[in-house]
Amino acid sequence: MFNPGSCSTFILNKEGRLLIGHNLDERTAEAQPGSIFINKRGEPKSSVSFTQVFTGQSNSEGALQWASSFGSVTFSSLGKNFIDGGYNEAGLYIQEMSLEGGALPDGTDDRPRMFMTLWMQYVLDNFSSVDEVIKSLSEISIDGWPWHFFVCDSQAGHCCIDFVDGNAKFYAGAAMPYAVMTNYEYEQELDGLKPYQGFGGDEVVDLNDMGDLDPPRNTRFIHACHLIENSSKSPDVDEAFNILYSMDRGTLRPPGGRHWSYVIDVSIGRVYVETRPTPARRYFDFDDFDFADGKPSQLVDIHLNCGGDIGSFFEDVTPGSNRAALDRGIVWWTALFESVIDEMEARGEEVAEIYKKGSWALAANSMAEHAELAMK
């Protein structure tokens, strides 16, 4: 759905130091609004599909019901539960990225359908391993627009989940030799890496080569693999952020580029954040929060204009505060969809038809109601 030059995710894992890095990197001039959520155990949830969200339909019979088994930290521009990615207290991480040319399942089988933004929260609520996440996709049909997913767990097991022609393709273990993803099928990324020194070829990696959008030529995967392979024996947070800086492609489509970046230092349970409007690096610790059942969830604006420790800035989530965060994101998403709906329609994507039948206003109400269920 989106032009190349979008999001990037990687793992940097050496000498017992596990760092996860992610860029949200978009075409728009206005930085994407977003919030960081602290989600507690025991929250009641219910599945809802993309069609239901966008047309304002109520959940049909057979919707999945669950209560969160694990607390989690999530990043979202669409309020509580409808997330871009996150990390749970069992050490499981999941992150979406747009997949150029991808297609999610068509929903014609008997599996319950779930909006893919909510499926990621479902994953964090219920699972602790990559294998469990893979298994869940045999039981649930996710829908929405074309995304693919990076998953890793506390044992540094990692997996790429691509969706091609409606079918999931999994790359894990030896099939995913480099723990890096951008916006193309993983197999295609590997093929693009082979000509370079250190990866089977003779071509020198040029970190100043930003690639091209038309025709698409992606160098982000190449740069990240090169920097990770040549990273220090004991990498630190600065080194992880430098990899994220190298994957920023704002110069290809100004004034686009990195909207936000984060690094999770799994080894010490700390999350670092930088954003375009507020570039000062800030952080918070998992130990700052009590994930116990019955405790209220919390949130903070991802663009909080503050450096250093922001653990004390998180506030309890209420229906009002969640709706305010959601509405900020809806304005951004409405404008973005209007700019790309013709592209989606030309490719025959189901999401275009559903979008035209519904609206982001209906979606906002549906997502707000769903989040309120978890607050009861």
Q: Does residue 317 sit within a domain?
A: yes
> Confidence class of residue 358 from pLDDT cuts 50, 70 and 90?
confident
* Separation CA 230–CA 14 (nearest Å): 11
CB 93 within 8 A of CB 264: yes
The boundaries of the domain holding residue 279 are 8-375
pLDDT at position 5 is 54
* 189, part of any domain: yes
Q: Contact, 336 vs 259, CB < 8 A?
A: no
Token couple for 223: 């740069």
- Work out the percent of the chain whose per-residue pLDDT is above 70: 98
Q: What single-letter DSSP state applies at residue 233?
A: S
- 83-94 mean pLDDT: 97
Token pair of 195, please? 């000509």
45 part of a folded domain: yes
Q: Is residue 3 part of a domain?
A: no
pLDDT tens digits, one per residue of 198-221:
999 999 999 999 998 877 889 999
Note whether residue 1 is domain-resident. no
Beta bridge partners of 147: 98
Interatomic CA distance for residues 50 and 351, integer angstroms: 8
Give the pLDDT of residue 138: 93
- Would you place residue 261 in the very low, low, confident or very high pLDDT band (cuts 50, 70, 90)? very high
If one counts every other C-beta atom within 10 angstroms of the C-beta of residue 275, the result is 23
| Total of domains in the chain | 1
* pLDDT value, residue 59: 64
- Residue 334 in any domain: the answer is yes
CA 227 to chain centroid: 22
pLDDT at 376: 75
User: pLDDT tens for residues 179-201?
Assistant: 999 999 999 999 999 999 999 99
For residues 269 and 288, give the distance between their C-alpha atoms in angstroms, rounded to a whole number.
10
Please name which of 11, 41, 37 lies closest in space to residue 291, comparing C-alpha atoms: 41
pLDDT per residue as tens digits for the range 23-76:
998 878 888 999 999 999 999 999 999 989 988 876 656 789 999 999 999 999
* Residue 2 belongs to a domain: no
In a domain, 85, yes or no: yes
> How much is the average pLDDT of 137-163?
94
Structure tokens at 73: 């930290």
Q: Band the pLDDT of 2: cuts 50, 70, 90.
A: very low
As a whole number, mean pLDDT of residues 300-314 equals 97
Mean confidence (pLDDT) of the chain: 92
Question: The domain spanning residue 165 has which CATH number?
Answer: 3.60.60.10
Neighbouring-strand partners of residue 270: 265, 285
